[in-house]
Amino acid sequence: MSENATPVLSLPHWDLTPIFPSLQSPEYKATFDETISEIKSLGEMFDTHNIRRRETPEVTPEFVSTYEAVLAKMGSLYENLRKLGAYIGCHTSTNAADAEAQAEESRLDAATVPLSKLSTRYVAWVGSSDTEALIASSEIAKVHAFSIRRAAYQEKHQMSEAEEAIASDLAPTSITAWAKLHSNLTALLSVEVEIEGEKKTLPMSSIRSLASDPDRVTRKAAYDAEIAAWKTVSLPLAAALNGVKGYQTALRRKRDYAGDVEPTLVSNSIDADTLKAMQTACVESFPDFRRYMKAKAKALKVENMAWYDLVAPVGEATKNYSWDEAKAFIRTNFGRYSEKLSAFAERSFSENWIDAEPHVGKTGGAYCTGLTPGVSRVFMNYNGSFGSISTLAHELGHAYHNLCLEKRTPFQRSTPMTLAETASIFCETIAFDGALETATPTERLALLDTALERNLAIVVDIHSRFLFEQRVFEKRGERDLTEQEFSDLMTQAQRDTYGEDLQELHPFMWAVKGHYYGPLFYNYPYTFGLLFATGLYAQYRQNPETFKTKYDDLLSSTGMADAKTLGAEFGLDTTSIEFWRASLDIIREQITEFEKLVGV
């Protein structure tokens, strides 16, 4: 760790050439053409075998044979699609102005519309059969039992085949197009800000990175500039959000779900009792998080926290980490858990899996994408803070999870977000715990603050997003909302969760977060991941060696069982509020220690 590191220089860009040499390469074009041909061939196979909702559920030897052949063909196709989609996505997220990549993304979206229809027919065909008889009749079906039973549930909520086909046809020019509009507008948004008397024009990703600047004047200037910039694009973004939520509302009603949250439960492999228990425990913890905010206000020497203080550094967090220091930190602390995890991180560095430099045209945030079995790429906007190192650990956790799934079939690798976030947050916790053990008191304060910033975001802010989305759906069922109404709902949700003491809220978080423009309630699974991982980490501390073997098995099985079943392997009951309270108690202990270090 060095005081004068310049982490914004010489940051790595990922190497995509092992996947394809370029978008113009013969290899890329051949794979694209092969994929289009495979989709057509799959359609012919579906028509030949009448793969659609069945009139009778009987499972015959012929049906079993057809199921196995269809599964193999779909699996091969999904592998190619994942490779193509992730490769193109890597180009568009690092350069939103890349016209060629945008065109390829559009071409792939259009080409896969028939596959969406075929996938719907597959679910109807499998789900309307005697699923238990199918599982009992085939070894291949037996190892795909979870996805078969899920199909039976989904089939009950399908529209007619014709209606589902129309929904697939409309998606690229409706919900997908609205999401692209959000992504492109935000990636290309430049912001003028005055810092230390000098006016600069910076990409939005860089402006948002200034939220962790040690100087409050700079943070405030960046916040004001950011809010002003979001106002300039609020009208088209409100149209986009209305479009997304209107589309989702219409489909939810036609598919006869009881409420807006219900479709997300099966997709996240949890039940309503689990969600209720978790959220009840979280709401109980809000007063404790407000204790943390008051203590942090004291550490920052301000009367009350403002939005632009939430991720301000305290202690020695003002130090920057160069990229080399960040890599060393990850290697060392992952190595405290296992040599396998440390070696995996080193592989990601040496094979250039990571794109870390913020720049104009690059979207904000961070993600990990799987390209081929066991092989990933990590996208982030590195700023030299310890929070940025935590983000790196988080995304490498996703990549490690992909490695553990390497030997599974595409259907077995289909992991819900709840369990995907468990792996990433577990790796964050490994890094944090290792760093905490060797920290000085001032470093310990900074580390605790970084962890509690994350926990505040995942428990409190995520619940504000959940409340916001719920309330948007309540109103969007009747009419479009204005940009001001979105902002009012946003600040009310923030007030309901953060409390009255947080000043200068962020009315445009609905514009910032791409999650609102994607799947339904792309929020609470993060909370599940944090608290489930915290509970697992407590198990690891009790019996490290036994845990490690079981944990990799869990990660390799996240597409093969629901969260309740997987948790039971470790003696965890996700439907019990006591489990969630116990995980939150660990965070409460961190808050209490933070208060003591601050002198509250």
Q: Domain residue spans in the chain?
A: 26-179
Place of tokens 């599982």: 135
Any residues with CB less than 8 A from the CB of 532 and at least 6 apart, and which? 418, 419, 422, 563, 567, 572, 574, 583
H-assigned helices in 23-60? 26-48
Tell me how long the chain is. Answer: 600
Contact by Cβ (8 Å): 28, 22: yes
Mind listing the pLDDT tens digit of every residue in the chain (600 residues)?
333 334 445 899 999 999 999 999 999 999 999 999 999 999 999 999 999 999 899 999 999 999 999 999 999 999 999 999 999 999 999 998 999 999 999 999 889 989 989 999 999 999 999 999 999 999 999 999 999 999 999 999 999 999 999 998 899 899 999 999 999 999 899 999 999 899 999 999 889 989 989 999 999 999 999 999 999 999 999 999 999 999 999 999 999 999 999 999 999 999 999 999 999 999 999 999 999 999 999 999 999 999 999 999 997 655 688 999 999 999 999 999 999 999 999 999 999 999 999 998 898 889 999 999 999 999 999 988 888 998 999 999 999 999 999 999 999 999 998 998 888 989 999 988 878 887 888 889 998 998 999 999 999 999 999 999 999 999 998 999 999 999 999 999 999 999 999 999 999 999 999 999 999 999 999 999 999 999 999 889 888 988 988 999 999 999 999 999 999 988 899 999 999 999 999 999 999 999 999 998
Nearest-angstrom CA–CA distance, 458 and 452: 10
- Beta strands 375-379 and 354-355 are parallel
Please report which helix (H) or strand (E) contains residue 246, including its range: helix 216-254
- The terminus-to-terminus CA distance of the chain in angstroms comes to 29
Question: Is the domain covering 26-179 a CATH 3.30.40 domain?
Answer: no
Contact by Cβ (8 Å): 551, 541: no
